[in-house]
Amino acid sequence: MVRSATSCRPTLHPLVKPIAPGVVWTTRHTTGTTRSSGGWRHPGQEYVLKPLHFFILAEVSYRMSASRVSQRERVLSLLASRGMMRLREFGETGITAATVSRLERDGAITRLARGLYRLADEELDQQYSLAEVAKLIPKGVICLTSALAFHGLTDQLPAHVWVALSKQDWRPRITYPPVRIVRFPPELLATNVEYHVIGQTPVPIYGVTKTIVDLFRYRRMLGTAVVIKAMRETLRQRKATPAEIAQLAEQAGAWKAMAPYLTMLASYD
């Protein structure tokens, strides 16, 4: 059965537009219908598929490129203002992980730890590792000898960053910077917390008085000599008074054991 031209005429897409007669590129024929490289030709009327799909693809490609440029600029701007950001924080602002990875490959940003980034050309503060830990452990507080070094009460830089967490908080898995976790009860965890900006990142660090009391509480782990030296330096620099230390030690339940040491050091001040 031979079908008529009308029966085999294809359904025309809305993008199919007629062109001038004779302007057609024939590739193969069907009954009553000519297939062109641009579309379909029918007796008395010639059609071609207007190549809008090429323009659409070009527009999509352009917008994706513009989006990448925009995201790139946003990443650099955010890191310039915040110092460090986690991959999750980028995602919350609509920036894709692919954009962050591309910037890392290009050398524009540096990965400090898993999911933590900063600008590649940023000058690092001596205490920058504290800011890194603050980003990686947002519920933690810098404590013990790390807090002591931050306050300028010791010349020794600890091998680990000491971080206080509550007993209920999940222990994070961090390979760098090296971290030591100590568990504080809730009433002690939130006492005398100060926020200091390091590398444009707010970092929770215990104040001097709380640091001295905590050092005494962990004297068996850190060594009594380290604690006594820290107490002596604190009083010498007048960064805390014996009365302030005694009051906080009483609240922490450490005053009875600390009293002889503090009394002796205060008498030499």
Q: Tell me how far CA of residue 104 lies from CA of 42, 66, 68, 81, 101, in angstroms.
A: 56, 19, 14, 18, 5
Position with higher pLDDT, 256 vs 200: 256
| pLDDT tens digits, one per residue of 100-109 | 888 888 787 7
| pLDDT tens digits, one per residue of 236-250 | 999 999 999 999 999
Q: Which residues contact 100 (CB under 8 A, 6 or more apart)?
A: 75, 87, 90, 109, 117
Position with higher pLDDT, 196 vs 113: 196
Length of the chain: 269
78-97 average pLDDT score: 80
What pLDDT is recorded for position 15? 44
The mean pLDDT of the chain is 76
259-266 average pLDDT score: 90
Question: Residue 149 — pLDDT band, cuts 50, 70, 90?
Answer: very high
Tell me which long-range contacts 40-43 makes (C-beta under 8 A, separation of at least 24): 40/9, 40/10, 40/12, 40/16, 42/5, 42/9, 43/5
Q: Domain limits of the chain?
A: 16-50, 53-119, 128-268
- pTM as predicted: 0.60
| pLDDT tens digits, one per residue of 58-82 | 444 444 444 555 888 888 888 777 7
Q: Are 133 and 163 in contact (CB under 8 A)?
A: yes
For the ranges 57-66, 82-91, 134-143, 256-265, the lowest mean pLDDT is seen at 57-66
